[in-house]
Chains A and B, each alone.
Chain A
Amino acid sequence: MKELSNLEYLESESIYIIREVLSKSNNPVMLYSIGKDSSVLLHLLLKAYYPSKPRIPILHIDTKWKFKEMIEFRDEQAKKLKLNLITYTNLEGLKKNINPFTHSSKEYTRIMKTEALKKILQKNKYDFALGGARRDEEKSRAKERIFSFRNKNHQWNPKNQRPELWNIYNTEINNNESIRVFPLSNWTELDIWNYIKKEKIKVVSLYFSKKRNVVIRNKNIIMIDDNRLKLKKNEKKIIKNIRFRTLGCYPLTSAETSVAKNESDIINDISKNLLSERSGRLIDKDEIGSMEKKKLEGYF
């Protein structure tokens, strides 16, 4: 008998976790952020169901500040794969014009992402939510469980997590409690790209280098995705060969100068890259331990 390779092992483990949710949950949902990890998770969901078709809803929290290409990609995928796509926006926040320019990134994230997510989870009474977060992304995520319990207020208690022994998961919950499940916990960024390459998984083209309109703001390369981004004095639009390592809301996601045009280039790039994956995510750095604080509130 041969030993499984790293990617075979990871795929099998993730499918096992997804099926555990399909089996134990009454009303599961998959959170879909349109990024590369979500694309891999969706691919694994299809495999977990095969030869059946996936039946669980795919939920996208739309802040209305995502890159245009992301939204196009989302709709295209939903149509092609006949997904049961649900999109949700915190309309209250939208009415109050909460935006990443006038509000702090902390406040904006709380209202348009964390609160929005909590609202829709509450409204539709989802008991299990699959997500594409990985432990190697950020230090506090390294300590999160694969089956991560949330109380009725969707809060995470890092000091009282259920120990996960063997491959046996405690999925017991009471009414109004829920579990967030991370089948990609043991994947690294490199694993993700190697898998995307091996399985020929489609991802948003923003991950690949292209000449794009950008502005340099606080040393970050911000793409001018639409005319809501107003240039300040001393700022000017420039055209650069850039790509994104992670995708979020465009005004809060910094690009990197790169010529990586395909998966192999990216794999090569990551192996040499000196900056971490989420270094382009401005919301991670608004204070020390900021991801942990966001997660306590219910951020994914």
Chain B
Amino acid sequence: MEKKVLKLLISGSVDDGKSTLLGRLLYETKSVFQDQLNSAKEESKKYGTQGSNTDLALLVDGLQDEREQGITIDVAYRYFQTKYKKYIIADTPGHKQYTRNMATGASNSELALIIIDATKGITEQTRLHAFIISLFRLEKIIILINKMDLISFNKKKYEKIKKEFINYLGVINFDQYEFIPISALTGDNVVKKSKKIKWYKGKSLLNSLDTTILKKKELSNFRMPVQWVNRNSSFRGYSGIITSGFLSKGDKVNISPSNKVTKIKKIFLSGKNSRTAQENQSITVQLNDQIDVVRGDCVSSFVNPIKSYDSINAKIFWIDKSILVLKKKYKIQFTASNTDAEIIFISYKYNLKNFTKVNTKTLNENEIGFCKISLSKKIPLEKFSSNKKMGTFILIDKITNSTVGTGIIDDLNESNKNIFWQVTKINKEIRAKTNLQKPCLLWFTGLSASGKSTIANLVEKKLFELNKKTYLLDGDNLRHGLNKDLTFTDIDRKENIRRVTEVSKLMMDAGLIVLTSFISPFRSDRFLARKSVNSEEFIEIFVDAPLAVCEKRDPKGLYKKARSGELKNFTGVSSQYEKPNNPDLILKSAKFTPKQLADKVFTHLQKKKII
């Protein structure tokens, strides 16, 4: 039978004995060669912490600085094999400032060992490591209570730490665990079962590892992100690693994000033609149809195709010295695809001392926050809880090219929700840009029957024909609804104009060209209207016709009623009309036709680059 691989993480607080344990494991499984042992012996004399004995930690602390400082700075990968398994071990640092390296190790492991110094008990770092392991959903934790020799293999002390830690594992919602009392220094319960810890009925660490079967979730939906287009003059195939599921020749598949459907013509696996392929295998597929497929697309099951998203909710682990900047463009890299990403906001970050949620606007190195991220394009993705490989990413600073953060996807959103987050960003300017026009207010003023509404209507029609977005507010129409409660007293006339101005403002904010047609007889009111919008957006158009002409036209018989006294406060008759001193346009409606005057307005708008 061929051996299986088990990817293992060794974590725990600084000085709790990680490197010593690893050295012990390598030494006792005969994975250390004589010359390496000799060299460790040699170095023990110089840097060792174990007197005349060989410091087994020196077998693994690879970098010169680490040997001198006696700490593990970086993630080191170690390998050993037993009769049953090959182990790939990520040996990670315990120091707080290197938490990111611990997270790196965790991201590449299936099972975690957490070492606790029995003399010191659980520390902040122990909790943090367990929290990260839980966050990254490793399959199991084996908690090693180390340095049992220093507490005379005392069961009570062991049980006390164990109880406290089980409580904590409950808090962080992690239920696959095992506890083993060990001494890495003396080798008790590491490879062989200890004779000194008789009260412990479980297995030695190595025996436990060898017999562990991880209960992995079966992922049935086929997914293969396209990593590389394998192409020559006569062949075009798509290569990638299968992140979940099973594939057979002839299967109907979906290509995301284009959602084109085709069939698998051929599968190439390990340099050969193959009928099938499965999770974790690197393959090349040839498709039945000529479809344009690029790196970052995803080949997935036709029955349950992967969906594409451009906004995600994710827990981000910030690993860079520079802080996270909201709305800055980072490069986001998924298993095969990448694009630009903006972190729109951070809902909260974790206080890593007590794991409470804290409000924040940024993340510092080694902090974890729950963030909303907007992507520049749609990417085929899945939640981390459903498919690890399709639900993780790294963030890269576009200037320094450093990896600044990593994340796991909690939730995925369709793009329309994106607008909700960016609500403040859609403003008058953006609306105006999409409408290809400048919002403005064409304020027609003049006596009743001077021709304001007629001309305004013609102008609006002309704008409408050019696809401009407009709205005409007419005095008579408004008085039937919004201004129904107002009379024609001076105070109510003022209020009438104030309301018209406010409504116009809202409509301009919506990006419209607004036309108003009101007598608006008072200079002060028109002045207020001009002041409440940007003055360059306010175009005062004086429709100038002599009173006599208007009175002669009198289409609604209002002048007649005013003259007879039936209608009070009628402008020009019983109420004053204050001519504009300096209007943007004067339209002599007694001399020119409404069409000519509408053209004049139109020309003015073009000149002012409003349309």
At the interface, is chain B mostly helix, strand, loop or mixed?
mixed
Q: A16-B282, A162-B402, A164-B104 are in contact. Are A23 and B34 (CB under 8 A)?
A: no
A158 within 8 A of B: yes
A273 within 8 A of B: yes
248-281 of chain B: CB within 8 A of chain A = 268, 270-272, 278-281
Contact with B along A166-189 (1 / 0, CB 8 A): 111010111000000000011010
Q: How far is the CA of A207 from the CA of B74 in the complex (A)?
A: 34
Q: Which segment, of B224-232, B454-462, B589-597, faces chain A?
A: B224-232
Tell me if B280 and A23 are in contact (CB < 8 A): no
- B227: A residues at CB distance < 8 A: 16, 19-20, 23
Tell me if B78 and A274 are in contact (CB < 8 A): no
Q: A23-B295, A142-B78 are in contact. Are A167 and B241 (CB under 8 A)?
A: yes
Q: Which segment, of B153-161, B393-401, B472-480, faces chain A?
A: B393-401
B108 within 8 A of A: yes
Contact with A along B58-69 (1 / 0, CB 8 A): 001111110100
Q: Which of A10, A166, A167 has the most CB of B within 10 A?
A: A166
Tell me if A12 and B108 are in contact (CB < 8 A): no
Q: A4-B280, A6-B4 are in contact. Are A12 and B63 (CB under 8 A)?
A: no
Q: How far is the CA of A50 from the CA of B270 in the complex (A)?
A: 8
The residue from B79, B103, B271 contacting A50, defined by CB atoms under 8 A apart: B271
Across the interface, name the chain B residue whose C-beta is closest to A160.
B402
Q: How far is the CA of A52 from the CA of B229 in the complex (A)?
A: 11
- A52: B residues at CB distance < 8 A: 230-232, 235, 237
The residue from B4, B36, B295 contacting A5, defined by CB atoms under 8 A apart: B4
Contact with A along B232-246 (1 / 0, CB 8 A): 100101011100001
- B401: A residues at CB distance < 8 A: 170, 172-174
A246 within 8 A of B: no
A91 within 8 A of B: no
Tell me if B280 and A9 are in contact (CB < 8 A): yes
Tell me if A167 and B77 are in contact (CB < 8 A): no
CB distance from B407 to the nearest CB of A (A): 10
79-111 of chain B: CB within 8 A of chain A = 79, 81, 86, 88, 100-101, 103-104, 107-108
- A159: B residues at CB distance < 8 A: 65, 73-74
The residue from A141, A165, A276, A292 contacting B406, defined by CB atoms under 8 A apart: A165
Q: Which of B75, B77, B281, B396 has the most CB of A within 10 A?
A: B77
- B5: A residues at CB distance < 8 A: 4, 6, 9-10
The residue from B76, B268, B396 contacting A172, defined by CB atoms under 8 A apart: B396
B389 within 8 A of A: yes
1-56 of chain A: CB within 8 A of chain B = 1-13, 15-16, 19-20, 22-23, 46-53
B313 within 8 A of A: no
A140 within 8 A of B: yes
Tell me if A165 and B74 are in contact (CB < 8 A): no
Across the interface, name the chain B residue whose C-beta is closest to A11.
B270
- B560: A residues at CB distance < 8 A: none
> A: which residues have CB within 8 A of B?
1-13, 15-16, 19-20, 22-23, 46-53, 135-136, 139-143, 158-159, 161-168, 170, 172-174, 185-186, 188, 190-191, 273-277, 279, 288-289, 292-293
Nearest 4 CB-CB pairings of A with B? A276-B33, A5-B2, A139-B62, A47-B271
